[in-house]
Structure 1
Amino acid sequence: MTISLITFDLDNTLWDSEPALIRADQAQREWLLQHRPGTIEHHDQSSLWEFKKDLWKRHPQLSHHVSQLRIQTLYELQRVAGYSEEEAQRGAEQAFKVFLEQRQAVELYPEALEVLAVLASRYRLGALTNGNADIYKTEAARFFDFAFLAEDVGASKPAPDMFLAALKHCDLKANNTIHIGDSPEHDIQGAQAVGMYTVWMNPAQQAWPGGESPHRVITNLRELPEAIASIAAS
């Protein structure tokens, strides 16, 4: 067996997503308060969540399109507030642009670039994410051969579509590939279901929730080259 491809989840695997998401939500809110008054002021976290859940039920076709889902939410918030279709559409796109700028301003884990440089010298690297993070907007861009979003393939992990798209793109079999991610369900179970080897990124040292165990577990990216080497050797 030869390991040729390493695929990565992004959020909470190569960086902590929470700081960027908090900044992005705040920037979006400030834009709405300034440019679309009446849209967001009366919503607290609970009522906004209910608004989003209702929207998700009415637009199930957007379940794997997180960017379009957010734009639709922004659009409908403005329409409910009395803005015209044109104003709401323009405002949704502009508010989302503000959100995405901060969303992409992630801070890689301190050891990430060093580890990725080592791995990229030995394997092809790919990114597989359910979100709208863009590896090519980060300092790690130069190490990655490709990136797929759930929006690209029309299905989110743990569905097999994204994993299979990576294998097809590289013309490889599943047992030539190792997937690294933080989610037991989306990353580990999803990748193993198509026959990939897996490494669970578990910095909080949580207990495995059950089901087929990952092939290796790491708590820091510095442990990853050794974990990959041990899988290949076995």
Structure 2
Amino acid sequence: MTPRRPHALLFDLDDTLWPIGPVIAAAETSWHAWLAEHAPEVTQRYSIEALRARRMALLEQRPELVVDLYRLRRLALEQAFAEAGADAAHIEGAMRHFHVQRNAVTPFGEVPAALVELQAMLRLGVITNGNADLEVIGLHHHFDTVLASARFGRAKPDPSIFLAACEAMGVAPRDAVYVGDDLRLDVQGAQGAGLRAVWMNRRGAQHEAGIAPDATCASFDELLAWVRAQMQH
């Protein structure tokens, strides 16, 4: 059967539009330095790694927090402040500082120009499990719909978040394509909701058994070429 011409293209954010690992590492370092200045009792007791371990332990206890990693970070920090006897008045400032640092991302080089071209062809949207702020980053104007798991209450790969985004954009799932770097969360999740899925595989990773993307691209230039071909149908 000939593929349908897509009406909407939806994106994951972290590691799809920009690399996130170095950003989070730098944000954690800056955050810990901020805490050392304003709440030294916390950093005397907890290293960056120890704070991360606290978050992971809390997530094991409360798996529902996977939908809102910002809230997970805050709750774990509240625990650390309480155990260290630090002034809880600094928690809000600490979270604001992390928010700024976490959004200091730099899109992959070809992404800004490709988004302009893609936006001229079809409607664009976002589905994310993360806490990126597109207004702060400066890319919000490209997207008709931005749906974050923290606001929606369910996270990828749950099909409901994909279906809700399609509904918000006024398109049927079969007329939408999702683009993301994670085979399970993005590709399998989107396909399970009836969307087509493009795997953004910049690192040349191996496919996983049982997951078959509708297309695999190593860059947004390749994605742009694939979308152009789909628009000919």
* Structure-2-length-normalised TM-score: 0.92
Give the fraction of aligned pairs with identical amino acids, expressed as a percent.
Answer: 30
**Offset from partner CA, 1:84-113 (integer Å, 9 cap, x none):** xxx32x322210100010111110111111
Residue matched to 2:76:
73
5+ residue gaps, structure 1 = none
Counterpart contact for 1:127–1:135, Cα < 8 Å: no
Counterpart contact for 1:160–1:194, Cα < 8 Å: yes
CA RMSD of aligned residues (A): 1.7
- Per the alignment, in what secondary structure is the counterpart of residue 42 of structure 2? coil
Counterpart contact for 1:179–1:199, Cα < 8 Å: yes
Task: Name the amino acid aligned to 1:184.
Answer: L
- Per the alignment, in what secondary structure is the counterpart of residue 98 of structure 1? helix
Counterpart contact for 1:116–1:140, Cα < 8 Å: no
Which of 3, 18, 21 does residue 18 from structure 1 map onto? 21
Counterpart contact for 2:12–2:181, Cα < 8 Å: yes
Residue matched to 1:203:
202
Distance 1:4 1:41 in 2: 54
**Offset from partner CA, 1:11-46 (integer Å, 9 cap, x none):** 000000122212211121011111111212233455
Task: Name the amino acid aligned to 1:74.
Answer: L
Task: Name the amino acid aligned to 2:38.
Answer: H
- Per the alignment, in what secondary structure is the counterpart of residue 213 of structure 2? coil
Task: Name the amino acid aligned to 1:28.
Answer: W
- Describe how 1:1-234 pairs up with structure 2 within 5 A: 1-44=4-47, 46-83=49-86, 87-88=87-88, 90-233=89-232
5+ residue gaps, structure 2 = none
**Deviation (angstroms), 1:232:** 4.7
Aligned residues: 230
* Structure-1-length-normalised TM-score: 0.92
**Deviation (angstroms), 1:199:** 0.8
Distance 2:159 2:214 in 1: 18
